[in-house]
Amino acid sequence: MKKTFELEDLDCANCAMKMQEAVLKIPGVKGCEVSFIKQKMTLEADDADFDKILKQAVKTIAKVEPDCTVLL
């Protein structure tokens, strides 16, 4: 499954890169793209585990950039 989510208060391209790299390390993530320009994150993971992986991705993003919010 592949879904795109809007990001709120993503401040810089460097933060976007750090978030993308951190999310890609989560077990089960097949792909992730965090775009500073579009203010969006595209996440790809197995259908069965998608919700669990999404929750982990949201927590990971909060650790990297506490001011950034993933709009679900």
What domain range is 42 assigned to? 2-71
pLDDT bucket at 41, cuts 50 / 70 / 90? very high
Task: Report DSSP letters for 7-69, one per residue.
Answer: EES---HHHHHHHHHHHHTSTTEEEEEEETTTTEEEEEE-TTTHHHHHHHHHHHHHHH-TT-E
CATH assignment of the domain containing 56: 3.30.70.100
- Would you call 72 helix, strand, or coil by DSSP? coil
Give the pTM.
0.94
Count of domains for the chain:
1
The confidence score (pLDDT) of residue 38 equals: 97
Cα distance between residue 6 and residue 71, in whole Å: 5
Q: Answer yes or no: are the C-beta atoms of 63 and 23 closer than 8 Å.
A: no
